[in-house]
Structure 1
Amino acid sequence: MRAAAGRAAAGAGAARRALGRAAGHPAVGRAAAGAGRAWAPVGRVLRRVPWRRSAAIAAVLAVAAALGTFVYALATLPVNGGLVVEPTSSALVVRSEAGQAFATRGIIKGAKLSPRDVPPVLAQAIVAIEDRRFYDHPGIDLRGLARAALRNAAAGGTREGGSTLTQQLVRMMYLSQDRTLKRKVQEAVLALWLESQLDKQEILTRYLNTAYFGAGVYGADAAAQRYFGKPARDLTLPEAAMLAGLVRAPSQLAPHRNLDGARGRAAQVLDAMTETGAITREQAEAAKRSPATVQVPTETPVGTNYFVDAVADAAKGLIGTGPADATVRSTLDLTLQNIAESVLARRLDGDGERRKVGQGAIVAMAPDGAILAMVGGRDYADSQFNRATQARRQPGSLFKLFVYLTALRNGYRPDSVMVDRPTQIGEWEPENYGGRYRGSVTLRTAFAQSVNTVAVQLAEAVGLPAVIATARGLGVQSELPSVPSLALGSAETTLMEMTRAYAAVAAGTETVEPYTIRQITSRDQTLYNRPPVAPAPMRDATARAGMVDLLAAVVREGTGKAARVAVPSGGKTGTTQDYRDAWFVGFAADLVVGVWVGNDDNSPMEGVTGGDMPAQIWRDVVTQALAARAKSAKAARPTTAVSLPPPEARPAPEARPARGGAVNGTPAVVDTGTLDFDGTTVRLLGVDGLGGRNARELGRYLRRRDVACLPAGEGDGFRCTLDGQDLSELILFNGGGRASADATPELLAAEEQARSNRIGIWRR
């Protein structure tokens, strides 16, 4: 042992001698001396200050920093901070003639709830999902904070918040959404202060009045009105659970866009309510089986926006811009609106490019002036300019209505004879379409064939001031210059003006006032009811009867033969120079429809006349509208007939035997309207087929499946069935094609449903 110690001592001595020699080196010596001088003050401080005193100083500094942060947070509490909602006009919920809500404009504000107005089921839902210890903590829940921290640590990220309802309320009312220490301190202080000032029920009520529920609405009553069309006090358990689930992620879960997500979150709320004892497990399961459904759309169907614009303008004129939300019962027939949109889109998409037709507009009106449908253009998303009410275009021969009605009032009759001959007024010499003259013709023939020279002669005979007076009396408000060419429609008018004029003749009244609103209500108060109007009969019944005779002749034997329908009808074509505008306005049964096609830049179309595309559009709209109305009237009558199931389950109609035979097998898809059975081509009745992805999807659907087809009648179409379903109806119902000219009312209804649901090719 002593030997080992001796060896260690000897080693230490050697080390000291080595260090001494190194220190003797000039460079090393200077470095050592400098280091010693640098660390000398630190060493003296460490020798003088005990470690306990250092720790105490550090603690004091930390407390001072925390106190400083706290004082700074208090000193910078915002005076006017918190939630800022941009001022908006009152919301307008628009309902159809039948009472169906289909559009909403503006931001629904709802009513401010008082504590006694808060439905218990909503209060229980909010507390269960957002702050279960709401009634037990003083504004800050330390237990909840600890629980949230543990769960977030276990999840590896933020999965649960620890803020109480009171903290959330002060954040919304007074603070910003910044995630800073200062804001957290301010939030805690204000939460404790608010709890000392208000009772729990008042805090909960203010929270419900302030929270954001998506779709631009703040407050529970506004959300109930927006999504369910009812005040908050009438919420059911499934609806209350859905609203309570929205406050965590309102934009992501808003039920008008993500109904499945909102229902899934509502199910979590129901489970939480069960855990807190607010409801029983049986009540929760029953609510899950009957989840809430959105009743009021928050996004207007694209095609109805032209009509909704008109409603909003009319409502502003009737009730102003009051602070309360309002509900409008409009005149819109949703079925007819869908028909009009579908027909116009199909015609423009089909022939529009080839014939250089870029735009179109349709107005459908009841004889009393109620606007039943309005299509102001091809696509509202591309252009909000309403071509039915705002575009002023030359009506061409459509204006002859006023010339001939004035003549009939001045003693002329439909059988009165005029001479179709070259006519000149000053330097102006009108020509007939085609450049030919017919000689002696009756007024009926001249009007039916749209003879220009006769119209000009009549206008000269009765006087242009009288023609202008007739037009004014029938509702034309546009400027009408008193020049000879006015007789041929050289002045500019709107489609709405011309349609209302023809409606007055159809109804036998002096004038028709178009309107879009029947009633306006706000909560439980009626703000406007359209008063009953007794229209004045047209003062010259004989002249009116003669005018109806002339209008019927246009469709029966004149330029409007393409507009023939299965019921008595009448109308008039209109075409302007160089084919820049083409019109058809007419009436059938209790429906008046006006159609215009042309181009926004006033460029010429490719030979399109009023008796061409506009008359065809008019015919399609009226035919489908009358069929839909007949079907609706039949359904409304008491009957023992069995109602039809939806298209998915509806058995295909029994095919009628016709020329040719049945075709069966697994087809190849040429397009969605054409199938190929080993070289035999079958065209599906009522479907204009599409290729590309639509055809590929149909091909995958039909792969290795048997399809049975039978001739559908006199045409070349076939009715094909797949597992008992009508294949044409199935394709149209899913937006896989467009309805063709030979489509039956059932097939047109299937297309309208797809268009309304925005599926397949109608998706935007």
Structure 2
Amino acid sequence: MGRAEARRAQQQRGTRRTTRGRAANGAGADGGSGRTDGGSGRAKKAGKAGIRRFFTWKKILGTFACLTLLGIAGLVGLYFYVDKPDPNAEATLQSNVYKFSDGSVITRTGKVNREILPIDKIPKHTQEAFIAAENKSFREDSGVDVKGLGRAVLQAVTGGRKSGGSTITQQYVKNYYLNQDQTVTRKLKELVISLKVDQEMEKPEILAGYMNTSYFGRNAYGVQAAAQAYYGVNADQLTIEQSAYLAALLQAPSQYDWAVASDTSKTLVTDRFNYVLNNMVEMGELDAGKRAGMKFQEPIKPKAAPGMEGQKGYLIEAANAEMRRQGVSAEQIQAGGWTIQLTIDPKKQAALEKAVQDELEAKLDRKDTKRRPVDQNVQAGATSVDPKTGHIVAMYGGTGQQDHWASNALRTDFQPGSTFKPVVLASALQLKSRTQDGKPITPNALYDGTSGRPVVGSSVPFSPQNQDQQDYKTGDSPLITVQKATNSSVNSVYAQMIVDVKPQNVKKTALALGMKDRKGWPEDKPAMSLGTMSANTVEMAGVYATFDNHGKLVTPTIIKSAKHAYREYKPVQAIGSQAIDSATADTVTKVLTGVVNDGSGSAVKSSAYQAAAKTGTTESNVAAWFTAYTPELVTVVAMFGEEPGTGKQVTLTGTAGGGRAGGSSFPAEIWKAYTLAALKGVKTAEFDLEDADMGEPVLPPSPKTSPSATVSRSPDPSTSSSTKPSTSTSPNPSQSSTRPDPTGSSGRPDPTRSSTPPLPPPSGTIIPPRQ
């Protein structure tokens, strides 16, 4: 066969193979199409077959079984690897040492308040109350809650919210053998040791260990110390109701202590108290009929522990509270071993305590409840801060924890009143806001000072009264400068100003300055201008220290250092970044110097220092504040009216047999006495206010000019000043949803006020109040 014949034979064989391939694949007349479709079908079938080869049910179940066996093997290995340790160093509990800033010792926490009781010394109903609260299946379980532990491990890995679920055995192991860390390693150790403890110890022994190692608050460890701290009895005398409260308390000792609990916390602990009793009925440990007649029994007032007398207890609690905010648990603090140096200057602390004693306590008669009933209600708190470092150098919490357990310096159940007004001004300056007629808001800007004048531009009606319903004027004109309005704390002006700035913008500024966003902020209401939110003296000291520090955020701290052999403490960053512009802060400071020189803060005027201040008095005179600063020191002094025993807010009017007790009365007198003593021997400076901008000098319009142009609808701050004002009708004063006490901020009549002050000089400079 020649080459040509061989080629033809090869081609014929190829044609026959192609024909057979088409027939096998069901090809049509279009051979190309048949090849393409057939190839695609084979690819799809092959893909599906490949997936099934890798993910069959047998293989999935087999993999799961292998992983389960590996997990079990790991746990078995861990079980034999992890030995039940000796009681942890924290279970033996050391003392904490607290020191002043100069290194001298304030106090030691002393011997741990704990008395170990055998189970037969703890009443049966008390035992059952704790089981009902924490672990109803305690007597039957193997010592672990696998689901709860799984959740805890997942939360530790993902950083999610912590939750309960541990058995009594696990909690005993955590208290006695381990620590409070929320790590995967600690959780796994807890599981293994709990299994071993459950096998090696009897249930009554485990229960006794748990009840003797738990922390109940009030420096009480164990049920015996708790019974004495909360009800003044030994554990064997506890009633069912008292036992239920102590069992409920363990969930959040600091939050659920009735002496310091908020209304929300009281509701929560009462609910948990009922939960415990209901579980006891369900468990068959309490008769349902008897349960129906049971009521919550309030605990006794707490007593100061040895070494916590006077201000010591308040200082230690303030330090502990700051440590908790920085991530150290209450259990880790109470476990001891800490050396904590506070920022408190012992000399300034002594000066503050003496100032309160001399200017307030010495003038009160707390014993004669008939002659001086108001004096029993007076509480005082104060915080003093170095604005350059953010260190709290002195703090006053009250007459002592034996009289008033919670620190008045830290309480947040009262409003700051008109000491909030500088925050409104700072927000206006920072945002370059404008008045109703489109003019920039500056200290020289003009506002209507008429008392009870309805605000314009707000969807919420508001028409606040000024103190004593005083109308403020410039000559015959109802217009006054912002400086004058601040000097005399004119409510009607600041109510309109916050509308011009927008309340939500003012809130943002307040938070930037360090105030806390607690429940109750009236975001969209002009009443916020009068300080209707809650705050404490530390927060307000931080706000004013930020003004003093040219706008750099100051977060007051009371801890200089905290050292522990096995733990690290991350301190507060006391000086932060720029919260507001330096020009804004310096302008606010310059305005507040006018309050001291010519306004409601004149009681503290002295040649020994230059000061800026703001008074504050809340509705019905239930609180009075004086917040002021020098270049060296920022100090907030506050008085609160609190009915003993109930915590109800009551008026301060009549304090020390006098009249209305405002911010310019006792608080200002305490501030001045303390500041003079604290700065004695110090070369004081004047404020550096080069960046302050008071705005263009202005003249009020003639009496014939209608003031409506200054109270029309406020344009957006970005709108040009040529925007035409609205002529909308102002709301009726009677429609005001919130009517504050017509007291402004000053606690005394303002001698600077007059209905006919002289007209301002032609230069239009700030109008000084008449002396």
Q: TM-score range by the shorter chain?
A: 0.3 to 0.5
Q: Identify which of structures 1 and 2 has the higher relative contact order when contacts are C-alpha pairs closer than 8 Å and 6+ apart.
A: 2
Kindly indicate which of the two structures has a greater share of residues assigned to strand.
1
TM-score normalised over the length of structure 1:
0.44
Structure with higher Rg: it is 1
- Normalising by structure 2, we get a TM-score of 0.44
